[in-house]
């Protein structure tokens, strides 16, 4: 009888100890889950920062290239502007004067005006 009682008491205390262990395991699991989440958050934040930085660099580079191309195209068109002005002037001046004008003469006039303008 004494032996049974002792066994029962020992079992009870063992159960109490195991319950405490269970609680500890639960707390550890919760802490690990929190760590996993925190780690995920940090990893995501790092990834976002890196991706955004790379994207911004690429975007800046590409927009810079596009702007340079635009400037070059504009300059090229400005270089050929005298042809456009000549064509437009021939059309307008011929109508106003009611007589056909020679493109070569008009071109000379355009060059003269452009030279005067740039000066």
Binding site for other proteins (CB under 8 A): 1, 4-5, 8-9, 11-12, 15, 18-19, 22, 25-26, 29-30, 33-34, 36-37, 40-41, 44, 47-48, 51-52, 55-56, 59, 63, 66-67, 70, 73-74, 77-78, 81-82, 84-85, 88-89, 92-93, 96-98, 101, 106, 109-110, 112-114, 117
Record the tokens describing residue 109, joined without a space. 């006039």
Question: Could you give the CA distance from residue 68 to residue 72 in angstroms, rounded to a whole number?
Answer: 6
Judged by beta carbon, residue 92 or residue 119, the one nearer other proteins is 92
Show the DSSP H helices in the chain as ranges. Answer: 2-79, 81-97, 103-118
Question: Could you give the CA distance from residue 61 to residue 55 in angstroms, rounded to a whole number?
Answer: 10
The minimum distance between CB 119 and other proteins, in angstroms, equals 13
């Amino acid at each position: 009888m004494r032996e049974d009682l002792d066994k029962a008491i020992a079992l009870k205390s063992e159960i109490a100890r195991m319950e405490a262990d269970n609680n500890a395991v639960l707390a550890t699991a919760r802490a690990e889950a929190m760590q996993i989440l925190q780690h995920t958050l940090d990893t995501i934040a790092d990834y976002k920062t890196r991706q955004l930085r790379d994207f911004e660099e690429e975007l800046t580079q590409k927009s810079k290239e596009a702007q340079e191309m635009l400037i070059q195209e504009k300059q090229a068109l400005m270089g050929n502007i005298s042809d456009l002005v000549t064509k437009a002037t021939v059309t307008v001046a011929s109508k106003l004067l009611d007589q056909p004008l020679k493109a070569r003469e008009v071109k000379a006039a355009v060059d003269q005006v452009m030279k005067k303008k740039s000066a």
